[in-house]
């Protein structure tokens, strides 16, 4: 259904590109490569790798701390990296005494506001050159008395670490024989980022600079760094904590506060995974909502009616419609790539990015309100003139003129016995131009969805491409469906009547989608 023109909200979207603000430059860390698999190596030596640490941002990058792992020696050529330059990061992993899969994680803690923890993963397998010594049998576990509020020991370890094996095989059994039931051990594998974040918080709180292969924090009061410190001091420190009583929950260094920090970190990662999954659904839904937008449907109905008047039917209609849908897909994807490039350019300017997102949220709120008002007004009067969110008159007239010209060209070609080439050329040409002009209206959905794609994909170009192609596939599904239904006999009048009956539903759906996108931008900011 084609709706008469009214002033649109499209001018609001122009404001996004006109936002001028004093941007604060920021550093952006990038590691090349970020993963290294050394394959299989003998457990009598070590493996070495040099990584390049880049500053892709616009201000000085400072590496504040390197969180290593068991058996790893690291060295930074420079802790200060100028914009556009790099430095070398040397890593040596000792394989001595190992006979298993090796998985290491090393984190660089920097002043990058978007990525404070930059992780490097190293994997492979250590091969024993002689049979490993037999592991002594573990002592039988017997029931022991416990107390209601035991001392909490945060044990930071890494799988396959020789020092950690000694803690497990010697220190903890001795501690259990002496103080069983009076403490609780929280095992924290440093292969997982949440535990690295937790360890760094402890290191900063206790002023620890050196990274040992194993460490423990007792009741958030004492930091034992390395095997020797754990072996000599763990039992006395646990006894001191028992004698002093549990840390107050109001104490910011106490275990309650630390536990809250850990829970927040875990919740943040869970939320990130959920947002990634939800973003896919939101992007696909956005494409479908955009495809049934009254702006697009109205133009489609007019196009099919003009083709019918020009006696473009059956296989000729199918060929023309296929070319039109393909051109619409390609054109809309190209527009999306351009917008994504603009949105990605804000990554290095957090202030500008926040301003753009605030403008988008405000626009989406206004669009949602106007969509609901349109639904109410059209539902009450069934008058297309009451609809506010639609194509401007000038754009609509230009589209109609183009469609009429294309239909006349097809009619002339049909009388001359023209072939498939002319049908494809006219259908494709109309698809390119009409889709570009329609974007004035359909961009109301496209722009905020692309903002979500830019945020969700970040530097993952393959993910950005997949989301963009998914959106545009959903966008053309209604177009393809309409051409197929017309091909098998659905009349243009029936298509127009269907469009009129569903204006209210389409407007309500648009309004709900605008609210959803606004909430998604706000909650993931």
Q: Are residues 40 and 85 in the same domain?
A: yes
Phi, psi of 86 (to 5 degrees): -140, 170
Which residue's structure tokens are 């020789």?
A: 162
CA 239 to chain centre: 46
SS3 489: coil
CATH assignment at residue 37? 2.60.40.10
CATH assignment at residue 215? 3.40.30.10
Question: Is residue 141, in this structure, part of any structural domain at all?
Answer: no
Q: Are residues 303 and 398 in the same domain?
A: yes
pTM for this prediction: 0.47
What is the rounded distance in angstroms from the CA atom of residue 74 to the CA atom of residue 499? Answer: 65
pLDDT for position 214: 86
Sign, Cα dihedral of 19, 20, 22, 27? positive
CB neighbourhood size of 144 (10 A): 11
pLDDT for position 81: 92
- In terms of DSSP bridges, do strands 117-127 and 35-42 run parallel, antiparallel, or are they unpaired? parallel
Token code pair at residue 12: 């609001």
Q: Are residues 173 and 119 in the same domain?
A: no
pLDDT for position 262: 46
Digit-coded pLDDT (tens) for 247-288: 444 343 444 444 444 444 444 444 445 445 557 788 888 888
Question: Is residue 204, in this structure, part of any structural domain at all?
Answer: yes
Digit-coded pLDDT (tens) for 398-435: 888 888 887 777 777 655 555 677 778 888 888 888 88
Q: Are residues 217 and 360 in the same domain?
A: no
Q: Are residues 329 and 469 in the same domain?
A: yes
Residues of the chain with pLDDT under 70: 1-24, 69-71, 129-148, 160, 245-278, 294, 313, 344-351, 353, 413-419, 455-461, 492, 495, 523-525
Q: Are residues 104 and 224 in the same domain?
A: no
Token code pair at residue 233: 């001091």
CA 212 to chain centre: 33
Q: DSSP assignment of 408-454, as one string?
A: HHHHHHHHTT--HHHHHHHHHHHHHHHHHHHHHHHHHHHHHHHHHHH
Of 127, 161, 191, the residue at which a domain comes to its end is 127
Q: Are residues 367 and 474 in the same domain?
A: yes
With CA atoms as reference, report the closest residue to 388 among 368, 374, 378.
Answer: 374
With CA atoms as reference, report the closest residue to 366 among 13, 17, 14.
Answer: 13
Q: Taking the chain, what is the end-to-end CA distance rounded to the nearest angstrom?
A: 38
Q: Are residues 358 and 499 in the same domain?
A: yes
Query: What is the total count of domains within the chain?
Result: 3
pLDDT for position 257: 45
Q: Are residues 457 and 390 in the same domain?
A: yes
State the SS3 of 178-223.
HHCCCEEEEEEECCCHHHHHHHHHHHHHHCCCCCCCCEEEECCCEE
Question: Is residue 111, in this structure, part of any structural domain at all?
Answer: yes
Q: Are residues 42 and 155 in the same domain?
A: no
Q: Are residues 98 and 170 in the same domain?
A: no
Question: Is residue 13, in this structure, part of any structural domain at all?
Answer: no
Contact by Cβ (8 Å): 249, 256: yes
Contact by Cβ (8 Å): 523, 363: no
Find the domain containing 180 and state its range.
151-246
Of 63, 93, 127, the residue at which a domain comes to its end is 127
What is the rounded distance in angstroms from the CA atom of residue 106 to the CA atom of residue 48? Answer: 14
The number of residues in the chain equals 525
pLDDT for position 14: 40
């Amino acid at each position: 259904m084609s709706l008469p023109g009214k002033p649109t909200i499209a001018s609001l979207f122009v404001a996004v590109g006109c936002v001028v603000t004093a941007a604060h430059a920021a550093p952006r860390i990038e590691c090349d490569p970020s993963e290294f698999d050394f394959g299989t190596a003998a457990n009598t030596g070590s493996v070495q790798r040099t990584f390049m640490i880049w500053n892709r941002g616009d201000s000085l990058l400072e590496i504040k701390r390197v969180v290593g792992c068991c058996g790893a020696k690291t060295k930074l050529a420079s802790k200060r990296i100028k914009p556009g330059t790099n430095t070398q990061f040397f890593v040596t992993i000792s394989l001595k005494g190992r006979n298993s899969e090796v998985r290491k994680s090393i984190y660089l803690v920097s002043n990058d506001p978007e990525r404070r923890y930059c992780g490097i993963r190293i994997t492979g397998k250590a091969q024993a050159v002689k049979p490993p010594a037999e592991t002594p049998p573990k002592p039988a576990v017997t029931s022991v008395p416990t107390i209601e509020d035991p001392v909490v020991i945060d044990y930071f370890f890494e799988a396959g670490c020789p020092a950690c094996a000694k803690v497990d095989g010697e220190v903890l059994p001795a501690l259990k024989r002496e103080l069983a039931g009076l403490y609780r051990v929280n095992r924290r594998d440093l292969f997982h980022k949440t535990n690295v974040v937790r360890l760094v918080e402890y290191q900063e709180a206790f002023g620890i600079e050196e990274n040992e292969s194993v460490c423990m924090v007792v009741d958030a009061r004492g930091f034992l760094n390395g095997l020797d410190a754990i072996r000599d001091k763990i039992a006395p420190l646990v006894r001191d904590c028992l004698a002093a009583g549990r840390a107050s929950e109001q104490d910011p260094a106490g275990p309650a506060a630390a536990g809250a920090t850990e829970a927040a970190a875990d919740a943040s990662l869970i939320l990130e995974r959920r947002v990634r999954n939800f973003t896919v659904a939101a992007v696909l839904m956005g494409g479908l909502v955009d495809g049934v937008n009254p702006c697009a449907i109205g133009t489609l109905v007019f196009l099919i009616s003009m083709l019918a008047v020009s006696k473009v039917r059956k296989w000729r209609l199918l060929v023309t419609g296929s070319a039109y849908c393909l051109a619409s897909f390609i054109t809309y994807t190209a527009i999306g790539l351009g917008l994504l490039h603009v949105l990605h350019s804000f990554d290095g300017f957090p202030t500008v990015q926040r301003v753009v997102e605030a403008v988008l949220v405000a626009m989406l709120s206004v669009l949602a309100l106007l969509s609901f008002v349109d639904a109410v007004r059209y539902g009450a009067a069934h008058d297309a003139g009451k609809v506010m969110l639609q194509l401007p008159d000038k754009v609509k007239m230009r589209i109609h003129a183009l469609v009429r010209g294309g239909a006349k060209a097809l009619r002339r070609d049909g009388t001359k016995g023209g072939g498939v080439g002319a049908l494809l050329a006219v259908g494709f040409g109309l698809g390119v131009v009409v889709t570009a002009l329609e974007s004035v209206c359909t961009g109301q959905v496209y722009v905020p969805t692309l903002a979500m794609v830019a945020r969700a994909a970040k530097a993952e170009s393959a993910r950005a491409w997949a989301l963009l192609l998914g959106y545009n596939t959903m966008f053309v599904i209604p177009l393809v469906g309409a051409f197929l239904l017309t091909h098998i006999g659905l009349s243009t009048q029936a298509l127009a009547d269907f469009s009129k009956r569903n204006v209210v539903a389409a407007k309500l759906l648009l309004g709900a989608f605008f609210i959803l996108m606004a909430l998604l931008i706000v909650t993931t900011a």
